Amino acid sequence: MTNDETTTHRLTLLGAGVMGVGIAALALGHGVPVVLIDVDPARLDRARGEIDREVRRARLMGALPAGRVPGELRTGTSVAAAADSTAVVEAVTERADLKVKALTEAAATVGDGAPLISNTSSIPIGELAAELPRPEALVGTHFMNPPSLIRQVEVIRGPDTGEAAMAAVTALLAAMERRAVVVRDAPGFVTSRVLHPMINDAIRVLAAGTASAAAIDTLMEGCLGHPMGPLRTADLIGLDNLADSLTVLHERTSDARCAPCGLLLEKVRDGHLGRKSGRGFFEYTEAGA
């Protein structure tokens, strides 16, 4: 795919956190121009450096197309900067009210043909769409971290999602050389509904003193074929994000396994959020490394 083909897409990302940065790096590395929006100017300043590092790492690992001219990155603190976008991805905190607010503002700014995409890990798309002026425009896309290295994307079709929105999202993912795996709407969809309770169980095993964090991850990797153990995965997700996702699942399914366990909540209260803070279930030499 040439740069002419990728620049037919103009992506706006709402939220400059871990996933916003990761999705931006993926898009830019494939030649798609990006507007990154966050209410915190300091967060946007840090995001530029983080995105540059992500793009360089992905290029060194051969995860980006050779010879592709990177897309242009613009930043802003207002959704007004998204006016000419062909798609908007919301990647804010895992709270339905904040997601609805961000998506509603975007819907009032972009053209009617632009899909609204929520990168929620757990909240049903139908629940969010019910609060929007154009429910047919909303699609769920659950990118895995880091987006530049994982080629499959879980795509959630809500009960009101229209064909035009699905086609536009599929085309955007194809421009970024990502395979869309479409699933039905439900709390946690497939990946979070399976993975997050399992991680919660692993944390309970750690809290019970059955094994160390390193031993748990080594057994899950070596015996059960997990590419990364559940506790390092938790650190990569962000322990605050994991706790929020589990809370959403518990509230909407009443599954006791989804209630965030005490050790997880303790880590969050102490500010030990995983890689992004430099310490979680493991320690990292550089926050975000």
What is the CATH number for 241? 1.10.1040.10
Cα dihedral across residues 177, 178, 180, 186: positive or negative: negative
Query: What pLDDT is stored for residue 289 in this prediction?
Result: 47
Q: Domain check: are 207 and 144 in the same one?
A: no
- On whether residue 288 sits in a domain, the answer given is no
Q: What is the pTM of this model?
A: 0.90
Buried b (16+ CB within 10 A) or exposed e, 58-80: bbeeebbbeebebbebebeeebe
Q: What is the DSSP string of 90-103?
A: E---S-HHHHHHHH
Q: Domain check: are 261 and 152 in the same one?
A: no
Other beta carbons within 10 Å of 45: 12
Other beta carbons within 10 Å of 190: 14
Coil vs helix vs strand at 188: coil
Give the end of a domain, one of 184, 214, 238.
Answer: 184
Q: Domain check: are 224 and 177 in the same one?
A: no
Q: Domain check: are 18 and 42 in the same one?
A: yes
Instruction: Note if 142 is an active site residue.
Output: yes
Coil vs helix vs strand at 244: helix
Q: Domain check: are 210 and 116 in the same one?
A: no
Q: Domain check: are 82 and 149 in the same one?
A: yes
Give the end of a domain, one of 184, 210, 243.
Answer: 184
Query: What pLDDT is stored for residue 67 in this prediction?
Result: 86
CB 272 within 8 A of CB 279: yes
Query: What pLDDT is stored for residue 285 in this prediction?
Result: 84
What is the CATH number for 28? 3.40.50.720
- On whether residue 93 sits in a domain, the answer given is yes
If one counts the domains in the chain, the total is 2
Name the region of 198 (left: φ>0; alpha: ψ -120 to 50; beta: rest): alpha
Q: Domain check: are 204 and 163 in the same one?
A: no
Mark the ranges of the chain whose per-residue pLDDT is less than 70: 1-7, 286-289
Query: What pLDDT is stored for residue 4 in this prediction?
Result: 56
Q: Domain check: are 201 and 174 in the same one?
A: no
Q: Domain check: are 220 and 83 in the same one?
A: no
CA-wise closest residue to 236 among 276, 203, 197 = 276
Q: Domain check: are 89 and 129 in the same one?
A: yes
- On whether residue 50 sits in a domain, the answer given is yes
Active-site annotation holder among 9, 30, 142, 196 = 142
Containing structural domain, residue 127: 3-184
- Bridge partners of 73, per DSSP, are 34
Give the end of a domain, one of 165, 184, 203.
Answer: 184
Cα dihedral across residues 133, 138, 144, 147: positive or negative: negative
Contacts of 225 (CB under 8 A, 6+ apart): none
